Structure 1
Amino acid sequence: MLRILVLAMATFAVGTDGFVINGLLPAVARDLGVPVAGAGQLVAAFALTYAVLSPVLGALTARFARTRVVLGGLGVFVASNVLTALATTYEVAMASRILAGAAAAVITPNVVAVAVALAGEQRRGRALALVMGGLSVASAVGVPLGTWIGGTDWRLTLWLVAAVGAAAWIGILVGVPALVLPGPARLRDRLAPLADRRVLAAALTTTLTFAALYTTVTYVAPVLAPATGGDAGLLAVLLAITGIAGVAGNAVAGHLTDRRGARPVVLGGLTGLIVLQALLLLPVSMTVAVVWAVGGAVVWLTVVGQQHRMVTLAPQSSTAALGINGSALYLGTALGSAAGGVALGIGGTGAVVGTAVAIAAIAAVFTAATFRPSPAKVTV
């Protein structure tokens, strides 16, 4: 599992980059001269770029060794974060976030595919949990640290992200062998799993789940402001609690998925997400904020369960299915960020939370109606 831990460094870098902007939105907005809702669209741009380009770039790079593709993506990723750190206008910052999203679209699905191939069938759930654990550790360490550093200067945080990406590049270059895995080279073939209604339903579950989550998470600073008083240090502590809970939830999710299957894990995670978002409809005291932060563990049940669901539904094209799931995840992030920005402008943080609860409920009902266990044996 050592090589898989090295691969998790890449998802840690991507996760830190994708999540850390959320806690910095007020500072970014002030520096670039835009409203907080406008700064939130930097998150949406990153996510939408990932969603759209993931299958396209996957098709263009299919004939190359996956590890080399990851290394190329990490190089672009580091450069884009340096550009964000140097940006003096909203337009340059937006362009750099689009570039970072394109890099992430190359990195994440290829890292997951390599991890699945290295792990073997019996440890596939644990391998997925470890790789996706890079994202949860990013929440536990990268995001709080970046938010705390960003309390002084948000640009320092982007330099930190670039450094993490460079470290991941070195680790993979040294520690992970070059693997050429079977996968569709044409864009049509990469999207072919969507012809299966079960795969399409699974992708919609991922989109709805992350739309519900990121409607509030993108605007976590103003949503939790009644508890933090706008203090970056307190927000960093709450984000650290959320991240640590996510690491625990991620570890539990891998074992539960291997033992009980993906369906109960995914539905359990969605039920928890509804409760978690509804909690923020109460007056947001520090107690409420801490409970919300600890409850973040439930989200990772859905993340790992959905990955497993995809490779089980499409056993002969698991790489393409994982790419679709990644696109669906980031499409949901983009939609949630956009919806939260609109809600914030219309009705403040209360409207943001209400919108998130409604989307989470839709996700749970839709998934309960469409998710059926599959007996297919997973192969890569």
Structure 2
Amino acid sequence: MVKLIALLFLIMFVIGTDTFLISPLIPTLQGLFHIPTEYTGWLVGAYALGYALFALVAGPLSDGLDRKKVMLYGMIGFSASTLLCGFATGFWTMFLFRFLAGVSAAFTAPQVWASIPALFPAAKIAKVSGIVMAGLASSQAFGIPIGGLLAAAHWSYPFITIGACSLLVAVFIFYALPELKPEQDLTVRLSLLQRYVPLLKSRVARRAFLAHFLFQCGFFAAFSFIGKWMADRFHLSVDQVGFVILVLGLGNIVGSFSGAYVIKKLNRFNAMVVGILVSIAAFVTLPHLSSVAAFEGVYFFIFMTMGIVFPLIIGMLNSLNPAIRGTIASLANSIMYAATTLGSWFAGLIYAAFNGFSAVGLFAAVCFVGSLFSFIRSGILTNDAGAKKDHAA
């Protein structure tokens, strides 16, 4: 069992690392490929676009196949496309390879979550899911900063390293993961597409998913430009930016592990509202801080808050319809990466237009205001308000 948990942890770690690996590299790649500032957001957005477009179809398609094979081929494709990023010759080749990496991740990552109930007894599922989720948090805390250190030697080294490590993970999948044959016939598999209909018809679901979109759009718009902002404002090198992101990732881990305690004390409703309101104030304040330490401290707090709030959002979305949690997870992932694409693209435009991070921070704050308003209007927060001791999310 330990071997399988380690495998799933590693899959999410390499995918999580690659997702925002390019963030601290934006200043370097912008100069290398002569990319206008308004287009630099697409270096992040290309990966997110590939994931967002294919996440909705990857789930239903994979339900009729052996999940081991889907995971294996997806990881091989992920490895190849990430390796190719290290040999990109310009903006469009980098865009293409990042897009393909996102497509491969869209087929690989959902299989991890879908495989857990099939591989582990019911009593272990929550614990295993928590460990696997820690793979994503650890990728922010350690994977991206390590990438920054490698990029200090040469910009291509992070992509080559992650690509090679992903190939080793694919070998691990081949030898360690058992076959995971589908339990449903072709007719049932095709009918899964209809499972999106109840969500589209539900006013609560529509508003809750809109709130989820705005939340992710604001957060990732700001996150995508941390590296460029610190290089422009504080003249940090790519490896120094990596160390800053290391600290921010630790904030996310702290939030993830302390979330159950905070939710027990505040209840889900209050934890969500307080977390978003504090983050709004932080995003408005960030651009006006005069030192790296102050910037890092405030952003650490944002990441810690996100470690608490993000699982709350996923928990509330899953509560919309327990019978179609797999469909909800696919839709939530697709929306998150669509928001990342739009947020990073728009952040690039306004960063260039207003020559700095102030507009990006304000944009993130406005998105969070809209997210909180939409959550409240949906009614989903009211349903959780009385769950003072419920910290299952």
TM-score exceeds 0.5: yes
Q: Distance in 2 between matches of 1:258 and 1:172?
A: 38
Deviation at 1:262, TM superposition (A): 5.4
Q: Distance in 2 between matches of 1:40 and 1:76?
A: 24
Q: Distance in 2 between matches of 1:226 and 1:98?
A: 27
Deviations 1:98-132 (A, max 9, x none): 11111111122221222355455566554443222
Range 97-106 or range 277-286, more displaced:
277-286
Q: Distance in 1 between matches of 2:263 and 2:272?
A: 9
For the structure 1 residues 193 and 305, does the alpha-carbon distance in structure 2 shift closer, same or farther, using more than 3 Å as the test?
A: farther
Deviations 1:44-90 (A, max 9, x none): 12112211211122222220122332222111100111111111122
Q: Distance in 2 between matches of 1:153 and 1:276?
A: 34
1:230 aligns with 2:236: yes
Task: Give the TM-score, by structure 2 length.
Answer: 0.86
Q: Which residue of 2 aligns with 1:138?
A: 139
Q: Return 5+ residue gaps in structure 1 as ranges.
A: 376-380
Which one of 193, 197, 218 corresponds to residue 188 of structure 1?
Answer: 193
2:327 counterpart letter in structure 1: A
- Secondary structure of the structure 2 residue equivalent to 1:281: helix
Deviation at 1:273, TM superposition (A): 2.8
1:207 aligns with 2:213: yes
Once superposed, what is the RMSD of the aligned Cα atoms? Answer: 2.7
Counterpart contact for 2:217–2:343, Cα < 8 Å? yes
Q: Distance in 1 between matches of 2:277 and 2:338?
A: 21
> How many residues are aligned here?
375
Deviation at 1:252, TM superposition (A): 2.7
Counterpart contact for 1:46–1:98, Cα < 8 Å? yes
- Secondary structure of the structure 2 residue equivalent to 1:191: helix
For the structure 1 residues 256 and 128, does the alpha-carbon distance in structure 2 shift closer, same or farther, using more than 3 Å as the test?
A: farther
Q: Return 5+ residue gaps in structure 2 as ranges.
A: 387-393
Q: Distance in 2 between matches of 1:182 and 1:223?
A: 49
Range 106-115 or range 1-10, more displaced:
1-10
Deviation at 1:261, TM superposition (A): 7.3
Counterpart contact for 2:24–2:228, Cα < 8 Å? no
1:347 aligns with 2:354: yes
Deviation at 1:284, TM superposition (A): 3.9
Q: Distance in 1 between matches of 2:266 and 2:364?
A: 28
For the structure 1 residues 357 and 260, does the alpha-carbon distance in structure 2 shift closer, same or farther, using more than 3 Å as the test?
A: closer
1:312 aligns with 2:331: no
Deviation at 1:305, TM superposition (A): 2.0
For the structure 1 residues 185 and 250, does the alpha-carbon distance in structure 2 shift closer, same or farther, using more than 3 Å as the test?
A: same
Q: Which residue of 1 aligns with 2:166?
A: 165
Percent of pairs with identical residues:
22
Q: Which residue of 2 aligns with 1:330?
A: 337
Q: Which residue of 2 aligns with 1:367?
A: 375
Range 205-214 or range 173-182, more displaced:
173-182
Q: Which residue of 2 aligns with 1:378?
A: none
Counterpart contact for 1:125–1:254, Cα < 8 Å? no
Computing the radius of gyration over CA atoms, which structure comes out larger, 1 or 2? 2
Which one of 275, 292, 303 corresponds to residue 310 of structure 2?
Answer: 303
Counterpart contact for 1:132–1:304, Cα < 8 Å? no
2:314 counterpart letter in structure 1: Q
